Chains A and B, each alone.
Chain A
Amino acid sequence: MPDEANGRGAPLPPELAAWIGRESEPLTLPDVVSDADLRRYANALDDANPLWQDDAYARDAGYAGRVAPPCLVLEFFRPPAGADENDERGLRSPGGVNAWGIEVPVPPEFTRLRRGEDDVEWFAPVRPGDRITVRQRVADIQLKAGRSGALLLITRENEFVNQRGELLVRQRVTSIRRRE
């Protein structure tokens, strides 16, 4: 959590508290993971590791072929959504950060969004050709008094599985909403 998020707890309005524990229906990514996804992701990080691009190298390392960098799957779950021309922030534009999963009804004055904390566990690699499905659960919602005003902390747990139902990655991620 950012330093300021360590403030006092405040009572959570019941209409928000009711969302804790809710689970999404399984959501499947519209496209399979591709070689191009791996290459473009690695390029965005200036990452020249051959595990992400060289099948023979990855096989020598015990994989079935090239694999995705571990954090790739966390960023590739944004099904297309309709553009919202009134959304100045870009949060709801096509594929915006709220475009999938459980949309907790955050009070509209909590306009600003920041990443707070992640806890990610890996169980099996993501490979090109995989069709990824995620299940999401709202693990916690907290209202806190930070230095710069009230903060709303929303913690979601995402489980990513492949087309064989194998659990690949579990992510517990806390986002922070605050007022302007």
Chain B
Amino acid sequence: MPGQPYFEDVAEGDALPDLAFGPLTIVHTVRWAALTENWYRLHYDREFVARAEGEPRFIASGGFRQALVCRMLTDWLGPAGRLHRLTIRQLYPTREGDRFLCHARVASRHADADPPRLTCEVWATNGDGREVLRGTGVVSLPRRDSRGAGS
């Protein structure tokens, strides 16, 4: 885990550390299906997917991809940062063998909130650079003069 970022050290336009995931394998999707008890064959049954879903390969669930975007944010937020809101629009599948690369950038700073908040643009691409989802995250970070504080 990297250390704790502070609000004063973050500027609009700053990129957050990427989260690079994949290539997606059946182990990833079956593990997620078992965890969430979601047995939709779209996510692990190659024969079924080709025959009945019009997809060349099985695809990651939207919830799994959203959870990875969330992880990118919580990885960066450190112990004292908080996630307040996340909106995600799913745009294109992540298929077996695809990479899932999450990105984020600080879109605006809100110093008047307590603790101060940031609005971040978030998006993800596959290995070909195609955008597969897009959204917005609202997070808060501690100020430098409030070390150790949390809620």
Number of A residues with CB within 8 Å of any CB on chain B:
49
Report B-chain residues with C-beta under 8 Å of the C-beta of A88: 41, 48, 52
A 36-80 contacts with B by CB, 8 A = 40-41, 43-51, 57-58, 60-63, 69-71, 74-76, 78
A48→B149 CA distance, assembly (Å): 22
Please state if B70 and A69 are interface contacts (CB–CB under 8 Å): yes
A 94-114 contacts with B by CB, 8 A = 94-97, 111-114
B 1-52 contacts with A by CB, 8 A = 1, 21, 28, 31-32, 35-42, 45, 48, 52
Residue A1, interface by CB 8 Å: yes
- Chain B contact residues (Cβ within 8 angstroms of A): what range? 35 or more
Please state if A96 and B149 are interface contacts (CB–CB under 8 Å): no
Please state if B149 and A62 are interface contacts (CB–CB under 8 Å): yes
Please state if A57 and B79 are interface contacts (CB–CB under 8 Å): yes
Chain-B contact segment, one of A10-18, A117-125, A135-143, A159-167? A117-125
B 38-84 contacts with A by CB, 8 A = 38-42, 45, 48, 52-54, 61-64, 66-68, 70-71, 74-75, 79-80, 82-84
A78→B39 CA distance, assembly (Å): 11
Residue A85, interface by CB 8 Å: no
A44-B35 contact given A63-B150, A118-B66, CB 8 Å threshold: yes
Please state if B41 and A47 are interface contacts (CB–CB under 8 Å): no
A63→B92 CA distance, assembly (Å): 37
A62-B151 contact given A49-B1, A71-B66, A122-B83, CB 8 Å threshold: yes
Chain A residue nearest to B31 in the complex (CB): A44
